[in-house]
């Protein structure tokens, strides 16, 4: 039986499913990935700008990058891969969607419960008073933006070297540990602790199905490594 058919069978039989998504699931919505050929912002790498050090050194530069990403994301619509996950959530007694993406497209597509491991580009945090709030203005009127208290605002995302939101990994690990099938979609599986969920799923006896355009460090160890665009493969998997 061809790989896709067998993977579809295992997914159909599963009562509890967990999913980890990365930038690749939003690529067909027109949002550049971090490590794709285009790169996220030609002359800058995410590792150089998505850090507290870069923000401390030049908050305006970091905000120019986020402002540009917010404008790109605001024009993007969920694609068939996002919509397939909404259908899957409604079809399974137990379903948890874990995403590394900050673009909010899973919620826009209709996913009810989304664990945002790396935060949300549409939220702001004040570096002074600590309050945080939603802000969908595109483009932002003034860079860098400030809080009502006058403090400097930062994007509500997790940067490299920063801890994930408290309890988030516990919740994600609990969902993965109790899942029969774990889908890993559109991630290079290079950023931790998120990527650690893949071997964690294997250790906990889940059937792991990977969907990616190219091999990842885990392609050899997953049960099914389906190569192709998520927007095409995911609907075929349901
Ligand atoms: C932490 C939010 C500890 C911001 C992001 C050395 C020095 C310093 C740190 C480290 C180090 N070594 C390891 C670390 C830890 C570090 C890390 O893992 N670094 C990596 C680079 C080695 N991790 C951290 O720092 C994390 N925090 O460890 O804290 C701690 C604990 C307590 C107290 C203090 C500290 C925080 C990591 C979160 C960073 N934030 N984003 C923002 O978005 O602006 S990371 C960013 O890249 C994304 O969020 C995403 O998570 C991550 C990976 O990207 P992907 O989603 O996988 O996308 P990518 O472009 O890489 O790949 C796309 C894939 O899709 C490709 O495989 C492609 O083939 C595929 N694809 C493309 N198109 C399609 C497709 N697939 C299917 N269909 C398509 N159409
Ligand atoms: Zn404030």
Answer yes or no: are the C-beta atoms of 131 and 52 closer than 8 Å.
Answer: no
Q: Tell me the domains of the chain and their CATH numbers.
A: 2-31+77-118+164-237 (3.40.50.1220), 39-75+127-157 (3.30.1600.10)
More confidently predicted of 211 and 1: 211
Average pLDDT over residues 63-89: 96
Residue-wise pLDDT tens digits, 85-115: 999 999 999 999 999 999 999 999 999 999 9
Q: Which atom from ligand 1 is nearest to the alpha carbon of 36?
A: 60
Answer yes or no: are the C-beta atoms of 233 and 226 closer than 8 Å.
Answer: yes
Nearest to 60 by CA among 137, 132, 161, 154: 154
Query: Residues enclosing ligand 1, CB less than 6 A?
Result: 22-24, 27-28, 33-36, 46-47, 50, 100, 102, 118, 157-163, 186-188, 190-192, 194, 211-214, 216, 229-230
Label residues 46-81 b or e (16+ Cβ within 10 Å = b).
beebbbeebbeeebeebbbbbbebbebbeebebbbb
Nearest to 92 by CA among 175, 184, 211, 11: 11
**Closest ligand to residue 124's CA:** 2
**Closest ligand to residue 132's CA:** 2
Residue-wise pLDDT tens digits, 117-145: 999 999 999 999 999 999 999 999 999 99
**Closest ligand to residue 28's CA:** 1
Q: Tell me how far the alpha carbon of residue 15 lies from the centroid of ligand 2, in angstroms.
A: 45
Kindly tell me if the per-residue pLDDT of 37 is higher than 60. Answer: no
- Strands 94-99 and 114-116, sheet pairing: parallel
Catalytic site residue from 43, 82, 106, 118: 118
- If one residue of 38, 50, 154, 160 were mutated to test the ligand 1 pocket, choosing by the most ligand atoms within 8 A of its CB, it would be 160
pLDDT band (50, 70, 90) for residue 161 = very high
How many angstroms separate the CA atoms of 171 and 179, rounded?
Answer: 12
Q: Tell me how far the alpha carbon of residue 193 lies from the centroid of ligand 2, in angstroms.
A: 29
Confidence (pLDDT) at 43? 64
Residue-wise pLDDT tens digits, 167-214: 999 999 999 999 999 999 999 999 999 999 999 999 999 999 999 999
Confidence (pLDDT) at 138? 97
Give the predicted TM-score (pTM) of the model: 0.97
Q: Tell me how far the alpha carbon of residue 153 lies from the centroid of ligand 2, in angstroms.
A: 7
Residue-wise pLDDT tens digits, 43-69: 678 888 999 999 999 999 999 999 999
Whether 82 is catalytic is: no
pLDDT band (50, 70, 90) for residue 36 = low
The CA radius of gyration of the chain, in Å to the nearest whole number, is: 18
Confidence (pLDDT) at 44? 73
């Amino acid at each position: 039986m061809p790989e896709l058919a067998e993977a579809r069978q295992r997914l159909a039989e599963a009562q509890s499913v967990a999913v980890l998504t990365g930038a690749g699931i939003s690529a067909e919505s027109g949002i550049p990935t971090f490590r794709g050929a285009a790169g996220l912002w030609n002359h800058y790498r995410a590792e150089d700008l998505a850090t507290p050090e870069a923000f401390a050194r030049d908050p305006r530069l970091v905000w120019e990058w986020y402002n540009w990403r917010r404008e790109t994301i605001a024009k993007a619509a969920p694609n068939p891969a996002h919509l397939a996950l909404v259908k899957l959530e409604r079809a399974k007694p137990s379903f948890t969607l874990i995403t590394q993406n900050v673009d909010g497209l899973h919620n826009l597509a209709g996913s009810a419960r989304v664990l945002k491991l790396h935060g949300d580009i549409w939220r702001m945090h004040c570096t002074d008073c600590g309050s945080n709030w939603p802000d969908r203005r595109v483009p932002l009127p003034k860079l860098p933006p400030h809080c009502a208290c006058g403090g400097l605002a930062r994007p509500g995302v997790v940067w490299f070297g920063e801890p994930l939101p408290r309890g988030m990994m516990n919740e994600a690990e609990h969902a993965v540990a109790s899942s029969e099938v774990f889908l890993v979609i559109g991630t290079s599986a290079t950023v931790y602790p998120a990527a650690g969920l893949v071997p964690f799923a294997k250790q906990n006896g889940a059937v792991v199905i990977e969907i990616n355009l190219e091999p990842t460090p885990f392609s050899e160890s997953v049960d099914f490594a389906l190569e192709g665009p998520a927007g095409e493969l995911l609907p075929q998997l349901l």
